[in-house]
Structure 1
Amino acid sequence: MTAVMSVRRADITTMAVDAIVNAANESLLGGGGVDGAIHRAAGPGLQDECETLHGCATGSAKLTGGYALPATYVIHAVGPVWHGGDRGEALALASAYEAAIVLAQEHRCRTVAFPSISTGIYGYPKAQAAEVAVRSVARALASAPYVEEVTFCAYDDEDLAIYRGILSR
């Protein structure tokens, strides 16, 4: 069975899926944007578990429990800071998405929700990031038969339109 990819405008912290993906920083200790929102909604247990993980490299991902979130797991994926596109940002971003799908497969997650990684304070252009996201998730899903549904969680109407356009191709 081929996994279904879709987009919806939603607060990722309210999504009842097997795993939500956090657009994390390398420390995994919380931050602004979606990262801070996930940490606040999950409660202090998430922070405690993240402290035991000793960070995460850019382009990689690590998994924790979901704590007070409706999601069973949080997959913390670290995307790159945008420096104009000539420092391997696309490869690092693709790697973060792919690493998240690998963890979802390993932990038998059927449903996964992604935010738009690196497009907030890290400054990655939204349309370029969405292209990388959809392409790399589709590629990773070919080796992740357990994952049945991936939802790209749009923060605003602009994100929603960008992902709808890409997914309709």
Structure 2
Amino acid sequence: MYDLDISVCPVPEEQRPINEYQALKESCLFRSSHGTLSKYIKTLAWIWLPSWAIAGPVAAASFDPAKHPVQFALGASAGASVFLVLALVRLYLGWKYVRDRLESPVVEYEESGWYDGQTWTKTSEILARDRLIAAYQIDPVLKRLYRTFGVLGLSIVAGAIGWLVA
């Protein structure tokens, strides 16, 4: 896909930052965070809504939905959000790891799998390409995740206020 001469690169194919980026971008969960906003929101909804199947009965055992509907809804929403937060943390850590590998001028890799820790310094062309990918492809995804964490934080605060008022 990229035309740079990488014949001088001793890093195994699967450990090259550009290939790690491609693999991450094509994986199921990560693909949605890299795509359109509507696809991203749809994926988050597909994580959060089925989580109600677990969180709903737990909340119903604590708060009778007929007697305490607000507490039930807030408790189930908070419980379902735990799964969403876990998925978002996974997305963040994956994208951050690949971004750090792309931006680094030195690539750490394992040749034989025996923890022989080798390093390779990227050529200036490869480093420039990798940093452009990090800046224009991954940084927007990380910003989207930061905003999502912010919205989740605000919804938790709103839920806490709703709990106190109810």
- TM-score with structure 1 length normalisation? 0.25
Considering only CA atoms, is the larger Rg found in Structure 1 or Structure 2?
A: 2
Higher relative contact order (CA 8 A, sep 6+): 1
Higher helix share: 2
